[in-house]
Amino acid sequence: MEGPSLYLAANQLKPFKGKTVLSLSGNSKIEKERMLKQKVKSIFSWGKHLLIQFDEFALRIHFLLFGAFEAEVNNSTLTGDYRRSYTPRLQLDFENGTIKLFNCSVKFLETGIAKASYDFTIDIMSTKWDSDKAFDSVSSKPDVEIADILLDQEIFAGVGNIIKNEVLWRVRIHPETKVENIAPSELRKLIAETKKFSLLFYKWRKVFLLRKHLDIYQKSICPRCGTKVKREKTGKRNRFSHFCPVCQIRSEGIAKWTNIKTSRKK
């Protein structure tokens, strides 16, 4: 699950705020019983993390590559992006519904204010997102391929493989292009498009229309030029990239990166 889906999940699960955990189950090895009879103070997301805050600790859920959730809230059913497995990693039961977590990592954070420990300036879904900070972070890694950069959660928290592929197609950049080969103006365009597409992802996912709006991810033909889409593992992260070999030509020439600091927006 990518950042926009987690942001949506956090909003959908807000009816559990102020509710008490009545029972627990699941195959997780953590000391889940400590949540029994505890009241939820807040539920929020950061990047690819979903957090349930209690008085003295928080439960952090990381959905990894193909984790999912299912919930029943006030007789309405909610689901995540991927197929659920048979047995939940963790299930929390409340008077107004149930949260089931599948194929994920769950961990306790020993703090009553988990939100304070997160940097929301790098969270792609946050109103505190800082594009200038992203620009500086990316430009400090000139020899890294851009597909790897977009999946770096210390720069683009919440960006996953769908967002990566769609954004690179939109700005016509090959996934294996190194940062040093992307002009500063093009890099700014890429960063802006990443934020823009993430918000659209959220809008479409909210009404179950995300797949309808994807142009390159898991597609066979480029909708822009009609060329057969390539699907290859790229970068050190070895994740699949879907790209058009005609629209997204790999640049080999080193872009002009002189006086980078003065290129920042004021």
The highest-level CATH class for domain 120-256 is: mainly alpha
d(CA 102, CA 80): 10
Q: Kindly state the average pLDDT of the residues 83-111.
A: 91
Q: Is the pLDDT of residue 242 over 80?
A: yes
User: What pLDDT is attached to residue 252?
Assistant: 75
pLDDT band (50, 70, 90) for residue 5: very high
* Averaged pLDDT, 218-240: 96
| Residue 263 predicted with pLDDT over 50 | no
CB 74 within 8 A of CB 96: yes
Residue ranges of the chain that CATH labels 3.20.190.10: 3-117
Measured over the CA atoms of residue 45, residue 150, residue 153 and residue 27, the dihedral's sign is positive
Flag whether the pTM goes above 0.75. yes
What's the average model confidence in pLDDT over 13-30? 96
Answer for the pair 7, 126: CB distance below 8 angstroms, yes or no. no
pLDDT value for 161: 96
pLDDT band at residue 219 under the 50/70/90 scheme = very high
Which position has the higher pLDDT, 68 or 25? 25
Instruction: Locate CATH 1.10.8.50 in the chain.
Output: 120-256
Looking at domain 3-117, its CATH superfamily turns out to be MutM-like, N-terminal (3.20.190.10)
pLDDT at 20 over 50: yes
What pLDDT, on the 0 to 100 scale, is given for residue 77? 83
pLDDT of residue 76: 84
